[in-house]
Amino acid sequence: MAWASFGRHILIFHDRLLVAQWRSICLHYAPPIIIATYAACFYIYTIGFYPCQNYFDFQSLICSFLCYVFYKNIVLWEYGFHYVFSTICILIFNVGQLARVLYSQRRLRQSINSRKHRKIIFQAASLSLLFLITNLPCCIVNFFALASATGWIYAAVDFCNYYCIIQPPALPFVFMTTLPNIGTNINKIIHHVTNRRTAPLT
């Protein structure tokens, strides 16, 4: 998601960089593949091949307790790079994109009436808010968990395990709001369903 935010910045403001095929491959296609490959290798190794014993409790809602969390170096890397760094990048890229659009409009003394600009502003603000709401509390809780594990920390970590789940289902709705004529189509669907319910039986 961090690279997607940066890649969108390139597509909007520096699209000429992608004209050449090799630049398009290096800047647009290669980074997501590299990131996905790295993430898959990291978790396959830590979950499946790291020399420790995982604990499974099939009576619990979260049935597995991964043993690599007891190894501080791995946890610090995962927490610092996967969560904190990626969250900061997402916020910086989206807020920077939002600020650049607003600054460009102000410099050119134009009102923000372009549909493209409105979509950019709304999507950047929505993504930043979503990741701020979902990731920031979990990052803070995990920081305290690494510093000192007390009773309330365990309860907070359990809460975050459920709280962070809302982020993936919410992402499609954020992107869906920028689709063309989405409001009109939703109104048509609601109107159609309402008419079917109120239609007299014959």
Mean pLDDT of 147-175: 76
Q: Sign of the C-alpha dihedral, residues 28, 30, 34, 36?
A: positive
Task: Give whole-number Cα distances, 22 to 17, 31, 101, 151, in Å.
Answer: 10, 13, 28, 54
Q: Where are the alpha helices (DSSP H) in the chain?
A: 2-13, 21-24, 30-44, 72-77, 86-107, 115-147, 151-163, 167-176, 182-198
Mean pLDDT of 164-193: 74
Mean pLDDT of 51-77: 77
Which residues have C-beta within 8 Å of that of residue 163, sequence separation ≥ 6?
A: 134, 137, 138
Does the pLDDT value for residue 117 go beyond 80? no
Mean pLDDT of 70-75: 84
Which tens digit of pLDDT belongs to each residue from 32-51? 899 889 999 998 998 888 88
**Domain that residue 7 falls in:** 2-198
Contact, 132 vs 91, CB < 8 A? yes
Q: CA–CA separation, 151 vs 126, rounded Å?
A: 34
CA proximity to 153, closest of 137, 169, 164, 165: 137
Mean pLDDT of 19-23: 76
Tally of domains in the chain: 1
Q: Which amino acid is at 172?
A: P
Instruction: Report the share of the chain in percent with pLDDT over 90.
Output: 3
Q: What pLDDT, on the 0 to 100 scale, is given for residue 165? A: 78
Q: CA–CA separation, 122 vs 129, rounded Å?
A: 10
